[in-house]
Amino acid sequence: MKTLAFFRHLLAMLFFAALQVMVCNRISLFGYATPFIYVWMILRFDSFMSKGSVLLWSFLLGLSVDIFTATPGLNAAAATLAGMLQPSFLEISVRIDKHDVVRPSCASMGNSHFALYAFLLLFIHSLALFILKDIPIDNWGTVILSAVGSSLLSFAIIFCLDLSFSRNKDRRYTSGL
Amino acid sequence: MRSLLDFLVRHGSAFLFILLEGLSLFMLFGMNDRQNSAFMTSAGNLSGGILSVSSGISDYFGLKAENTELATENAMLRDYVEVLLADTVSEFRNQASAYGINVLARVIDNSIRKDDNYITIDRGTVDGLEKGMGVYNARGVIGVVMLAGNRNSIVLPILNSKSSISCKIKGTDHFGFLEWHGGSPYDAKLKDIPYQSEVVKGDTVVTSGFSQSFPESSLVGIVNRVERRQNDHTLDIDVRLATDMTDLGWVYVHTQTDDPEIEELNRLVEGN
């Protein structure tokens, strides 16, 4: 079971990294907004995963994006931050019973809760990323504008995809414990 | 120990976060030019300091080569100065030897503690050195070549009881001999200055130029103490040497030999 989860995560990581590098990084709407689709993977980590593995997978995900964009550490740092906050944000966004396994999506959390949860995490990720990217920062306006634009665009794409892909199986279910 | 483990387990994810974030930032600031330069300039006073220390250290190790270059250049410049001076006063009768007037040499052995000290330098007859040539450095006079080997020479420094260098008080024509009888390596005695000459503490002692080992008026030292003894015809003068004999690295050898005519006359006089 654990091996299966591991390979599922590994495949997802490679898929999202490739999607980010080959498609999303080429998009720059109005010169400010770049979608960070790979954060969707972090958003989707279920409530049953340990904080450690969320962190580790987030870090590896960011790092694999970095490797292909030749910005070592940039996405890794932002993704690790997102991975650190994800479990807490999830807990705050929805009430989770002890034995509940929540795989975050519109279907499992409700549209508004998921929207808030996803947007906050995306915004913090983008903000961290653009701050780190633009150090030393000459123009905070550009940084904020880029962070807001990118998180809005990412959120729009992820929300639409989530609405169309998440199915009933994402509804809360009780673990076998 | 147990509580420490408990603490680590309870806050494991926090430590993991710090570790991973630290790793990311390390990569970010270490491998990306923009962030790297920002780190170096604004937040990086520390690393800047470390860099300057390390460059200071490498500079220190490069000093030897640098010194050689500077000293070589110095010897060349001294040659020019002497030629130019001689041109002006048209007293430069001897052509500079093929080796140059001032040969640069390195002190390879030096003693100061004995009664009779010697200095060994790494130049010899091959480089144009001969017995009797003056040895000095940028600060002042050191001694005279006593024995010239093929590639090395022994110098008889001021700090040797056999050493006797013809000196005078700058601005006067009273001359005497600089001698040393053991003791402080910073002080020597000036003998044979006539009793009536007006020498005071602080006067400059320079070479007389009689022997032509040294050019006239090369700095030797400063008068440190003058004692007028009764029943004596000369003054007892202590000289603080200009050259720090305890710290010799590169020296110059004045290879301009005596005027052949004067040499010949001297030989005739001594022969009789």
Give residues with Cβ within 8 angstroms of B99, minimum separation 6: B127, B128, B255
Among candidates A56, A76, A136 on the partner chain, residue whose Cβ is nearest the Cβ of B27? A76
Q: What is the pTM of this model?
A: 0.47
Strand, coil or helix: B268: helix
Average pLDDT, chain A: 83
Please report, rounded to a whole number, the percentage of residues in chain B having pLDDT higher than 70: 79
Cα–Cα dist B153/B223, whole Å: 30
Judged by CB atoms closer than 8 Å, whether chains meet at B20 and A81 is answered as no
Q: Does the structure show a pLDDT above 50 at B158?
A: yes
Predicted pLDDT of residue B264: 75
- The answer to which of A113-127, B31-45, B148-162, B215-229 has the lowest mean pLDDT is B31-45
Predicted pLDDT of residue B221: 92
Amino acid at site B40: M
Between residues A76 and A173, which one has the greater pLDDT?
Answer: A76
In Å, what is the CA distance from B241 to each residue of A89, B134, B139, B156, B187? Answer: 82, 16, 9, 15, 6
Chain A: closest CA distance from residue B100 (Å): 58
ipTM of this predicted complex?
0.80
Backbone angles phi, psi at B236, to 5 degrees: -105, 105
Would you state the structure tokens that stand for residue A96, as one six-digit string?
A: 């989770």
From chain B, pick out residues whose CB is under 8 angstroms from the CB of A60: none
From chain A, pick out residues whose CB is under 8 angstroms from the CB of B12: 51-52
**Nearest 5°: CA angle at B15, between B11 and B21?**
140
Cα–Cα dist A76/A82, whole Å: 10
A164 in reach of chain B (CB within 8 A): no
Q: What is the mean pLDDT of residues B123-147?
A: 87
Work out how many CB contacts closer than 8 A connect A with B.
Answer: 66
Predicted pLDDT of residue A132: 86
Choose from A49, A53, A74 for mutation: most chain B CBs within 10 A.
Answer: A74
Cα–Cα dist B9/B3, whole Å: 10
Helices and strands (H, E) in chain B, number of each type: 5, 12
Give the total residue count for chain A: 177
Predicted pLDDT of residue A155: 92
Contact B155, B146 (CB under 8 A): yes
From chain B, pick out residues whose CB is under 8 angstroms from the CB of A136: 38, 41-42
SS (H, E, C) B157-220: ECCECCCCEEEEECCCCCEEEEECCCCCCCEEEEECCECCCCCCCCCEEEECCCCCCCCCCCEE
How many CB atoms neighbour CB B130 within 10 A?
14
